[in-house]
Structure 1
Amino acid sequence: MPQKRQTHPQPYSFRKPKEALEFCQTTSCEVALLDIQMRNMSGVELAKELKLLNPGINIIYSGYAKMGIVKEKVDCDYYDWLDGKIYAINLYHGEYMAQYSWGEITNAGMK
């Protein structure tokens, strides 16, 4: 029985988002580890461009040891309310999470 050939992925590092995009136009990439904050383009914007080139690419975000939420990656009516979207404002008339004692504290921390 023939043995399956093992492949060893090669990591590459880029200092500029444009360099990573140019590389991925000619090379198949399976995973991209991206900083959220970069010069000239955010990690979320770069991920969108990489997904256009390779829809199957896996994206991992890094945030310089900070813990938080990437708003653009979360579909949440609370963030839509913060952005002033009408449907979310209509959902949030003082009763949102009222049954939870931690609701008001959480709302303040999410802003």
Structure 2
Amino acid sequence: MSTNFYVNFIYFIMYSVIGWICEVIFCSIPEKKFINRGFLNGPLCPIYGFGALIVIFFLTPFKDSIFLVFIFGLIVTSTLEYFTSYAMEKLFHSKWWDYSNNRFNINGRVCLLNS
């Protein structure tokens, strides 16, 4: 991971926008209408930006092993999603996502099939 603040900021914005686009497409197609998946007033989902930075930072040492990148990537991103869900529920008193109806979920906060 680059120690340059500006490079990391660009990564954060870029992956936040890409994540937002993917979420909007994934949710809008079944509904046949536009569904804004961001909680901000713009095309950003910060969890994807933070997730990308964490993945870059933690997984770079394992870049030569696709298996370790996959396993540690699954663990790191699922942990981020779990704690983000918990924090947002406490801060906003609302569930932003719920995997309770999916198999292999942990407290409805993360789901192995989505990880």
Q: TM-score range by the shorter chain?
A: under 0.3
Q: Which structure dedicates a bigger proportion of its chain to helix? A: 2
- Between Structure 1 and Structure 2, which shows a larger proportion of strand residues? 1
> Larger C-alpha radius of gyration, 1 or 2?
1
State the TM-score, normalizing by the size of structure 2: 0.26
When the two structures are superposed, what TM-score results if normalisation uses the length of structure 1?
0.27
